[in-house]
Chains A and B, each alone.
Chain A
Amino acid sequence: MQGGQILQRLRDRFGGAVVDTHEHRGDATLVVDRGTLVDALRFCRDEPTLGFDVLMDLTAVDYQRYPGREDGPRFDVVYHLYSLAQNHRVRVKVRVDEDDAAVPTAVDLWPIANWFEREVWDMFGVHFSGHPDLRRLLMYEEFVGHALRKDYPINRRQPLIGPKQ
């Protein structure tokens, strides 16, 4: 299916829950409401014409310093889906605020979401409700803060041993 058709299909199905869609540089992107996220992902996976059986990537972007988003919702959690059978892709996004940075987990749909979500929690501090084991993935437990947030300075080190700074 072409990107436009995929988005049309999803808009038809989820109507008001779709916040935005666009097709910048040929990447079909759907922004959904947080409450509908898991339903939308499940629909993408199970609907035969869509057939998105692989959660290729799951990440987040901190939009704190992005032009036009300074006071909008701070984080986008980004899902890249791919369908082996149909050979097409879609990007699903959900926006969350800093004070309420939590997204329902997708572990029940794809087991790989487990680690991807742990990484997003580690790097951005976005919580995934319902996640079975939300620990840091890359950094150590003693690390304070979330490194990929725009307000975390790149060289603020928190050594476990050795000289501090």
Chain B
Amino acid sequence: MGVGSFFTSKLDEAIGWARKYSIFQYPFVTACCGMEYMATACSHYDIDRFGAGLPRFSPRQADVLFVVGTISQKMAPVLKRIYDQMTEPKWVVAFGVCTCTGGFYDNYATVQGIDTIIPVDVYIPGCPPRPESVIDGLMKLQDKIATQTQRF
């Protein structure tokens, strides 16, 4: 291993470590899952422990997009636009089975999974997912952030 690549991989690790504990999320809350999102974010389950306690309600200042709740066909362009407005590096979490696959709303109004519109990093299934599974998903995301090749 050359000195250069040793350096970048260490730097990568350092940046990954820093990034994984400073998740600024944009909660794109549309539906019932939002109630469970609130529960997870509040004191009882306290996601601040994972460095994800501060929601930024502006896509430009956020780096993780939490898509929480059903996305309807009418809402899809809005979601896409918000995703496009976020700056790199960015990650997307599909929260709840509606965002993963459309859930049990197989009908004319509902998007059958947000990955048909935007790329998704972590899927958290459940209708709604319990706070425990949300935290699990969050930790998976942290792993992903920490180990990926960092671009900056």
CB distance from A103 to the nearest CB of B (A): 25
Please tell me if the beta carbons of A155 and B106 are within 8 angstroms of each other in the complex. yes
Question: Which residues from chain B contact A160 at a C-beta distance below 8 Å?
Answer: 73-74, 76-77
Is A158 located at the chain interface by the 8 A CB criterion? yes
Main secondary structure of the interface of B (DSSP, over half): loop
Residues of chain A whose beta carbon lies under 8 Å from any beta carbon of chain B: 139-140, 147, 152-163
Residues of chain B whose beta carbon lies under 8 Å from any beta carbon of chain A: 73-74, 76-77, 80, 106-109, 111-112, 116-117
CB distance from B86 to the nearest CB of A (A): 17
20 example contacts (A-B, Cβ-Cβ < 8 A) are as follows A139-B74, A139-B109, A140-B74, A147-B109, A152-B108, A154-B106, A156-B108, A157-B73, A158-B73, A158-B108, A159-B73, A159-B111, A160-B74, A160-B77, A161-B76, A161-B77, A161-B80, A162-B76, A162-B111, A162-B117
Main secondary structure of the interface of A (DSSP, over half): loop
Which residue of chain B has the shortest Cβ distance to A154 in the bound complex? B107
Question: Which residues from chain A contact B108 at a C-beta distance below 8 Å?
Answer: 147, 152-158
Please tell me if the beta carbons of A140 and B73 are within 8 angstroms of each other in the complex. yes
9 nearest CB pairs, A to B: A162-B116, A162-B117, A140-B74, A154-B107, A161-B77, A160-B77, A159-B73, A161-B76, A157-B108
Question: Which residues from chain A contact B107 at a C-beta distance below 8 Å?
Answer: 154-155
Question: Which residues from chain B contact A155 at a C-beta distance below 8 Å?
Answer: 106-108
